[in-house]
């Protein structure tokens, strides 16, 4: 049996496979890979507490501001469009909790597009999730939702658009349909 010629390459490959990298994701140009990013940052919040899908409590403006100021370096290093997706996810968990992610991250335990940006906790803590920092489908989903929300679309219309745009990419998360407005 032949030994690998470059053990560092094998270590990187094994690290990426073990970290839950999924097929539909890709890293933005000039951004450090998933294996090179720092651990998720956790920021205490006051009134905004992440709870299970369907019962998302909106974070206060103060909590959003504090969390954004304390965002981890891997988010700061992202291109502005990708940082914008994180910012939107932070400010509007009530939108992303209803949108499936079609990058294949359901296998990592994600329940919606929101889980690609933040780990949900019922402890009063906002914890950044690094997954979206290397996944174009996650970012494009959030940015599409933000654009459609600005256009005055309903949650049902936003969900339809996300399903139509990304539904064929990979298996989606098992995300409930938003309630009728």
pLDDT in tens, the chain (181 residues): 443 444 433 333 333 333 444 456 765 555 444 333 333 344 333 333 333 334 456 778 888 899 999 999 999 999 999 999 999 999 999 999 999 999 999 999 999 999 999 987 666 677 899 999 999 999 999 999 999 999 999 999 999 999 999 998 888 999 999 987 6
In angstroms, rounded to a whole number, what is the distance separating the alpha carbons of residues 21 and 84?
22
CA dist., res. 160 & res. 2, Å (int): 51
Can you name the residues that pair with 112 across neighbouring β-strands?
none
Locate tokens 């951004």: which residue? 31
Q: Which pLDDT score, from 0 to 100, does residue 122 have?
A: 61
Q: Pairing between strand 118-119 and 42-44?
A: unpaired
Report CA 44 to chain centroid distance, whole Å: 19
pLDDT in the model for residue 100 = 97
For helices 61-69 and 80-91, the axis angle rounded to 10 degrees is 150
The whole-model pTM stands at 0.73
Enter the DSSP assignment of 118.
E
pLDDT number for residue 47 = 33
């Amino acid at each position: 049996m032949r030994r690998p010629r470059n053990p560092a390459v094998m270590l990187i490959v094994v690290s990426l496979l073990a970290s839950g990298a999924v097929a539909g994701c890709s890293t933005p140009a000039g951004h450090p890979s998933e294996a090179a990013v720092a651990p998720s940052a956790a920021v205490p919040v006051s009134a905004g507490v992440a709870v299970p899908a369907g019962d998302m409590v909106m974070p206060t403006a103060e909590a959003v501001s504090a969390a954004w100021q304390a965002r981890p370096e891997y988010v700061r290093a992202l291109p502005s469009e990708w940082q914008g997706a994180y910012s939107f996810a932070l400010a509007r968990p009530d939108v992303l909790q209803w949108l499936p992610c079609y990058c294949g991250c359901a296998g990592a335990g994600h329940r919606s597009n929101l889980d690609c940006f933040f780990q949900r906790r019922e402890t009063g803590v906002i914890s950044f999730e690094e997954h979206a920092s290397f996944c174009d489908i996650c970012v494009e989903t959030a940015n599409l939702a933000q654009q459609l929300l600005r256009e005055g679309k309903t949650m049902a219309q936003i969900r339809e658009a996300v399903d139509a745009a990304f539904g064929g990419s990979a298996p989606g998360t098992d995300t409930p349909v938003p309630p009728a407005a």
